[in-house]
Amino acid sequence: MILEIQNLLKKIEKLTEVEILQFLVQEYPNEVVFSTSFGMEDQVITDFILRNKIPVKIFTLDTGRLFYETYTTWENTNSFYHTRITPYYPNAQAIEEYVQENGINAFYDSVPLRQQCCYIRKVEPLKRALAGNKVWITGLRSEQSPNRERMPMIEWDESNSIIKLHLILHWTTEEVLSFLRKKGIPYNPLHDKGYPSIGCAPCTRPIKQGEDFRAGRWWWESKTNKECGLHVHK
Q: Which residues contact 187 (CB under 8 A, 6 or more apart)?
A: 38, 40, 43, 73, 177, 180
* Cβ–Cβ under 8 Å, residues 46 and 34: yes
CA distance 172 to 130: 27
- Asked about 200 being catalytic, the answer comes back as no
Catalytic residue among 118, 200, 203, 228: 228
* Cβ–Cβ under 8 Å, residues 136 and 33: yes
Backbone angles phi, psi at 26, to 5 degrees: -80, -40
**Which strand (E) or helix (H) includes residue 162?**
strand 162-166
* Angle CA 46–202–221, to nearest 5: 105
* Cβ–Cβ under 8 Å, residues 25 and 56: yes
For residue 45, give the amino acid letter.
I
Residues catalogued as catalytic: 228
